[in-house]
Amino acid sequence: MLVWQGQPVADAIRSIGVTEVGYSRWRWEFGGLKTDQVRRMKELEADNAQLRRAVADLTCDAVSTRDSASNGL
């Protein structure tokens, strides 16, 4: 809203306590997305992390089972 009032972007982000680097990173990552799209992306990232952990756990179990079977022969 500060920018719409004619304040430069650098001054506006400083006044709300955000660094220029933080703003640039946010804009690069989320600049073209609407609020609901950002929320959905965050949900998908959380789901993806959960699936990666599940795959890692299953892989460890499979390796452990394989190692146990090969040691018993």
Cα three-residue angle 54-55-56, rounded to 5 degrees = 90
- Per-residue pLDDT tens, the chain, 73 aa: give them: 566 677 788 888 888 898 889 888 888 888 888 889 989 999 999 999 999 999 999 998 888 888 887 776 5
In this prediction the pTM is 0.52
Residue 13: is it exposed, middle or buried by C-beta count within 10 angstroms (0-12/13-18/19+)? buried
pLDDT of the residue at 15? 87
pLDDT of the residue at 73? 54
Helix (H, G, I), strand (E, B) or coil at 38: helix
